[in-house]
Amino acid sequence: MSELYSNSIFWFEVEKIHPNPYQPRKEFDPGRLSELADSIRQYGVLQPLVVTRHEIEREDGGLSVEYELISGERRLRASKLAGLMQIPVIIRIGEDNDREKLELAIIENLQREDLNSVEKARAFKQLAEEFGFKHGEIAKKVGKSREYVSNTIRLLMLPETILEALSSGQITDGHARPILMLIDRPEEQMTLFKEVLYKKLTVRDAEAIARRIAYDRVRKKERAFDPEIVELEERMSEKFGTRVQIERKDIGGRVMIDYFSNDDLRNILMLVESGEEGQAGSPHAMMHAYEHSLRENETPTQDESEHAVPEEETKPQEELEIDEESEIDTEAAEAGESETQNMQLSSEDEDDLYSIKNFSL
């Protein structure tokens, strides 16, 4: 029976063929399906579909036959759109049908370059986890290197939002790989993703940013760990809604703030300006509080403590200086008052000279 059906071409009703549950492709472009349907109306199905035959025992004791698609789902869908009643198929017989169906479906779609990177990654992962394929074996099946298979599967470590953008073509495989480098820094990863998405960064620019972030991360590990700086970075990043780095130096330091649009830059400026007005929780207030805590935590050195003069010993001299200054100020004030009075008197005398009472008719 197997030899009778194997590799022979038959014509079956379209409705009797069920889709492949192991089909790696999940999305079908309606426009391209319509174009394929037009071609099928004109030329027919040029390449037969590949199916497996299943005999299922019914409750009444009889047998029903079903056919499950291995490869050719686009042709099946387009044939339905074209209104065909029957299509040509090849029945494939195998000992491990599930494994063979997935393998053939992946290979066919890869050869046609119909799968996007996310679909490839999920198919490779399914081959490895459910069917026990090693990465090297998968690579031989699809004509790629083992590293290609491993790196493609690693794409599934990205967040679902980034995977959706990759599936829809908003970002490319080349963009996804530098974003994947920041898998242990989710906030910075999303920032880089948004920059790629909205600023239309090139792959080279994305790689340069990812390398810079990785380099900064290594430098942070090398220098002394300051938990308060880390806390400030996290709080300011949350406040600004973007990545913030604080680099402390021997004298002062610098704050680096990432942004990916002019609106972001304006919002950051507004937050900084609002912080100058003293609002609690503002970036300006955070840095001011941190500087204040640093000043409070500063302790005098040994030399300074040894040369420090007790407050009680200096108090009498301070009081003496204050008394002397107050006496000098009192004398100066009295002298000033007498001089002012003399000036007022002389002024009054001058006024009297021109008074009408000094003139007679």
Task: State the CB neighbour count (10 A cutoff) for residue 196.
Answer: 26
d(CA 349, CA 342): 11
Concerning whether 73 is annotated as a catalytic residue, the answer is yes
User: Which of the following is catalytic: 73, 100, 103, 195?
Assistant: 73
Residues marked active site are found at 73
